[in-house]
Amino acid sequence: MNAAMPSGATAGPEGPRPAGEAALYQRLREHLAYLRLPDAAAALPGVLDDARARSLSAVATLERLLAVEVAATQARRLASRTHFACLPAATPWPTTTTPPNLGWTRG
């Protein structure tokens, strides 16, 4: 820990952060994990740093964070739907002009 930092503070990209802010950050990560929002939790540091650099409002920051999770969820659902879809086979069924032999004959 840096000697110039007060006790209980953590260092961030823009400098030291108070211990209260670090505790809020950890609690926010825990909430995202509990709600099973892994992509939002992974994007949290970048979104917060971007919000701080651009002086974004809390609403704009929350929208950016949730947009990351929504995009990831949509991609997962699309991948799941295409995986389980009844798509045509890569090779088409053989086409014949004569009916198949069903074991009986006309007579």
Q: For residue 41, with 0-12 CB atoms within 10 Å meaning exposed, 13-18 middle and 19 or more buried, which class applies?
A: buried
H, E, C per residue of the chain:
CCCCCCCCCEEECCEEECHHHHHHHHHHHHHHHHCCCHHHHHHHHHHHHHHHHHCCCHHHHHHHHHHHHHHHHHHHHHHHHHHHCCCCCCCCCCCCCCCCCCCCCCC
The pLDDT value recorded for residue 75 is: 92
Reading the chain (107 residues) residue by residue, the pLDDT tens digits are 333 433 444 444 555 567 888 899 999 999 999 999 999 999 999 999 999 999 999 999 999 999 999 999 999 999 888 878 776 666 666 666 666 666 766 65
Please tell me whether the overall predicted TM-score, pTM, comes out greater than 0.75 for this model.
no
